[in-house]
Amino acid sequence: MKKLRELFSDTLIYGISSVLARFINYLLVPFHTDVFNPAKYGIIGLIYAAIAFLNVVFTFGMESAYLRYAENRKEAANIFKTLQLGLLGFASLLCGILWLAMPSLLPLFNLGPETSGIFLLMLGILWFDTLSIVPMAELRLVRRSVLFAVLKTTHVIVNLVLNFYLILALNFGIEAVFIANLAASMLMTIIVWAFTADLMRGKWNSIWMKRAFEFGWPFVPSGIGYAINEMLDRFLLNNMDPANAERLYGMDTTPEDVVGIYNACYKMAVFMLLLVQMYRMAWQPFFMRHASDKESPKLFGQAFIWFNGFSAILFLVVALFKEQIVAINIPVLNATLIGSNFWAGLDIVPYLLLAYWFHGWYINFSSGIFIKEKTRVLYKITLMGAGITIIANLILIPFFGMIGSAAATLLSYSAMAVTLGIYSKKVMDVPYQLPASFGLMAILAVLVFGEPYLQLWLDGVMPGRALILGSGIAVTAIYLWRYLRFD
């Protein structure tokens, strides 16, 4: 349990900073959904979808490679400098290629020549974010989690303040969103460079570059597959038949509006994503530190059970009370958490929460893959998930619109998690208690999706939700009591 406390401690530090950063950043959602219409908010969603996709290509798996090899502190400086210089050249080259291709890419984002500056701002964000990857990974590796948290929070605060200033004081349009992000990324990158500058005294080593490349390249197709799972739905919804958009969501609703509504309601899944991300930040360095421990399989299994316990409660609360959560009023902004014009997409929330819960499984199962250096399987599994995402979206969007996209995301993440879990057990036998863990998730999903029928039986909304919440908490408590062992 002492080692698990170490994991919980780091998770808490990353968690507090992530919660704070996400909360501050989330203030942009009510602000943007109040000042921009769904079509313009859709452009923001498309640009950030592209950033998520391109980040994978720009970083080329070097963050994971650094965490894997820089644990050897005698070589850390050499590895750091080698990877930083490699990323500098690669990111600059890619930015040049995308700049040349800009005229043909603008229509994908609903942009024209007059708004091409947004595309250039996107390239700047990608360049600076890429060059902060390895220095930020160094902070995680040496457990400078407080500094990591401060830098991430600073990024969010600068981004938020500039958004308000540029839009409200200077009357900028959606360009302000990306100018603010670029300024925040630039500042954070320069600061983290200063804190890790001593590692640039190392020497370029082509052998380390080769090893990092061999370890990291499977993360590129894997990351592309992940980006497809996360972001392709915006582009597919943007290209849905306008007649289907009107049939599903009312007259004069355009595909551009659907993208904006979907992108706003997708933000509700941030609660589960936040838990997964703060856990991942602590989890990767944690399992590498304890890779050689004899008790590591049991330790990793207990960590997985605890993760499921927290995820279960979070899923219940957000899925059951999503309408109340989005209607929370932000006094400073005099706006609700998500603008009421965007509430038509709230039914997607439970699907996305489950999808991110499965994503947390995937992250847990990756420990054995990293330790045994079997990372090539990751891209195969993630590309499988990407294929499911594409096919399911194409089939489901014409009939179900946004819910079809959310269901496709759930299908993809569940398939990836289960597949990696089965493979991971062969590489490293960890007692994940998969049948019981899947049973927990299935029971809670049935409770949540069965809520409308329970409301009819109990003749009321809140009594039904209270019964579901109490039942779900009881099931989760039984699961934790049954499968946690501390002897």
Q: Are 30 and 252 in contact (CB under 8 A)?
A: no
428: helix, coil or strand?
coil
Digit-coded pLDDT (tens) for 29-45? 778 877 888 878 888 88
Give the separation between CA 123 and CA 203, rounded to whole angstroms. 29
Give the separation between CA 433 and CA 487, rounded to whole angstroms. 17
Give the separation between CA 5 and CA 14, rounded to whole angstroms. 14
| Structure token digits, residue 86 | 């490699």
More confident residue, 236 or 74: 236
Q: What integer pLDDT is reported at residue 436 of this predicted model?
A: 93
User: Which amino acid is present at 203?
Assistant: K
Give the separation between CA 248 and CA 250, rounded to whole angstroms. 6
Instruction: Look at 81-90, 137-146, 283-292 and tell me which has the smallest mean pLDDT.
Output: 283-292
Give the confidence band of 1 by pLDDT, cuts at 50, 70, 90: low
Most confident of 21-30, 162-171, 307-316: 307-316
Provide φ and ψ at 336, rounded to 5°. -80, 165
Q: What integer pLDDT is reported at residue 487 of this predicted model?
A: 42
Give the mean model confidence (pLDDT) for residues 4-29.
61
Most confident of 65-79, 108-122, 291-305, 448-462: 108-122
User: What is the pTM for the complete model shown?
Assistant: 0.74
Give the separation between CA 320 and CA 236, rounded to whole angstroms. 28
Provide φ and ψ at 283, rounded to 5°. -70, -45
Digit-coded pLDDT (tens) for 197-234? 888 888 888 888 888 877 777 777 777 777 787 778 88
More confident residue, 184 or 19: 184
| Structure token digits, residue 371 | 């330790």
User: Which amino acid is present at 84?
Assistant: Q
Give the confidence band of 453 by pLDDT, cuts at 50, 70, 90: confident
60: helix, coil or strand?
coil
Residues 6+ apart with CB under 8 A from 427: 368, 369, 372, 374
More confident residue, 418 or 370: 418
**Sign of the dihedral defined by the CA atoms of residues 337, 343, 345, 346, in that order:** positive
More confident residue, 256 or 123: 123
Give the mean model confidence (pLDDT) for residues 385-392.
92
Give the confidence band of 123 by pLDDT, cuts at 50, 70, 90: very high
Give the separation between CA 254 and CA 245, rounded to whole angstroms. 6
Give the mean model confidence (pLDDT) for residues 143-159.
83
More confident residue, 218 or 447: 447
62: helix, coil or strand?
helix
Alpha-carbon distances of 84 from 140, 142, 148, 193, rounded to whole Å: 16, 18, 18, 10
Shortest CA distance to 441 belongs to which of 360, 368, 387? Answer: 360
Residue 482 CB: number of other CB atoms within 10 A? 11
Q: Are 24 and 155 in contact (CB under 8 A)?
A: no
> Angle at the Cα of 389 (from 387 to 391), degrees rounded to 5?
70
User: Assign residue 202 a region: left if phi > 0, alpha if psi is -120 to 50, beta otherwise?
Assistant: beta
DSSP 409-425: HHHHHHHHHHHHHHHHH
| Structure token digits, residue 304 | 């997985």
Most confident of 100-109, 138-147, 395-404, 478-487: 395-404
More confident residue, 266 or 33: 266
| Structure token digits, residue 88 | 């500098």
Residues in the chain: 487
% of the chain with per-residue pLDDT over 70: 89
Give the confidence band of 66 by pLDDT, cuts at 50, 70, 90: confident
Give the confidence band of 68 by pLDDT, cuts at 50, 70, 90: confident
| Structure token digits, residue 393 | 């979206």
Q: What integer pLDDT is reported at residue 24 of this predicted model?
A: 64
Mean pLDDT over all residues of the chain?
Answer: 84
DSSP 309-340: HHHHHHHHHHHHSHHHHHT-EETTTTEESS-G
Q: What integer pLDDT is reported at residue 486 of this predicted model?
A: 45
Q: What integer pLDDT is reported at residue 483 of this predicted model?
A: 86
Instruction: Look at 133-147, 363-377, 407-421 and tell me which has the smallest mean pLDDT.
Output: 363-377
**Sign of the dihedral defined by the CA atoms of residues 338, 342, 348, 352, in that order:** negative
Q: Are 216 and 222 in contact (CB under 8 A)?
A: no
Q: What integer pLDDT is reported at residue 4 of this predicted model?
A: 58
Q: Are 80 and 196 in contact (CB under 8 A)?
A: yes
